[in-house]
Amino acid sequence: MNRIDKKFKELKNKNKKAFIAFITAGYPNLGVTEKLILEFAKTGVDIVELGVPFSDPMADGPIIQEASQAALKKNVQLINILGLVKKARKKTEIPICLMTYYNPIFCFGEEKFVKDAVSCGVDGVIIPDLPPEEGRTLIKAANKHGLEVICFIAPTTSPERIKYISSVSKGFIYYVSLTGVTGPRQSLPADVVNNLKVIKNITGKNICVGFGVSSSKQVKQLKKVADGVIVGSAIVKKIKENLQKKNLVEVIAKFVASLNHV
């Protein structure tokens, strides 16, 4: 069983919801990214989402864009990130997803990417700019080798399309809480709870909410209706604010634990 499925099963048995932490791989460097993965595993994070730096991250807001640019300047590439996961796998079994745009996978080669990702210990992949209809060959290869392709549902997605996305998405479905890019928001959209209830009536798949989630209060609110909550920009922002601190990893781990302390 894939680590993501195993984790959701384990959480359901405990009547708990998943907390998913996103960080940009290679920001501020790959060594810190590895330490954060290991620390997150100790402090209650259920799944780690590693952002693959890309020059045109159209789904991401300014905070993650800046972190991506900083990692790219250090020449952090997909192959380095796979190596990082392989290294971390010697010390932890925490489920790890890659969030990447399609271009790095296309350049790497779909089949090679899937095989290498699985052999390095990657459990899932999230590709914001690859609609499932256009990703059939990748999804086929992923299903064959046990890599879970996680698809998106937006507030504007029709019930028919929700059914289709549900039929192809593995691991969990990523619900984008708002029509816009990533970034911390003071408040969540008024319709998010109702939208989640509608989706849950259509699909039995695990639904995790991301985009805009930035406080423990929001995490608590969303856990009441979703199967998991994803926090990214708020964590990356905290990394930026503490870059000069020697205890950066400890500071970020404490912040992430506080978000999930509900």
Express each pLDDT in 35-44 by its tens digit.
Answer: 999 999 999 9
Q: Which long-range contacts (CB under 8 A, 24 or more apart) does 10-14 make?
A: 11/46
Residue with structure tokens 């969540």? 188
**pLDDT surpasses 60 at 179:** no
Instruction: Flag whether pLDDT at 121 surpasses 60.
Output: yes
Q: What is the pLDDT of residue 58?
A: 76
Q: Which of 34, 49, 123, 227 is catalytic?
A: 49
Express each pLDDT in 199-222 by its tens digit: 999 999 999 998 878 889 989 989
CA nearest neighbour of 238 among 9, 72, 27 = 27
Catalytic residue among 34, 60, 123, 148, which? 60
State the pLDDT at residue 180: 52
Q: Would you identify the CATH topology of the domain 3-259?
A: TIM Barrel (3.20.20)
Res 211: pLDDT: 82
Per DSSP, the three-state class of 104 is: helix
Specify whether the CB–CB gap between 26 and 53 falls below 8 A.
yes
The answer to whether residue 116 is catalytic is: no
In the chain, domain spans: 3-259
Burial pattern 108-132, b for ≥16 Cβ within 10 A else e, equals bebeebbebbbebbbbbbbbbebeb
Closest listed residue to residue 112, CA positions, set 72, 79, 76 = 79
Catalytic site includes residue 49: yes
Write down the pLDDT at residue 11.
Answer: 97
> How high is the mean pLDDT of the chain?
93
* Strands, sheet with 96-99, edge to edge from the N-terminal-most edge strand: 148-150, 124-126, 96-99, 47-51, 18-24, 228-231, 207-210, 173-176, 152-153
Q: What is the pLDDT of residues 193-202, one digit of tens each?
A: 888 999 999 9
pTM across the whole model: 0.95
Looking at residue 194, its pLDDT comes to: 87
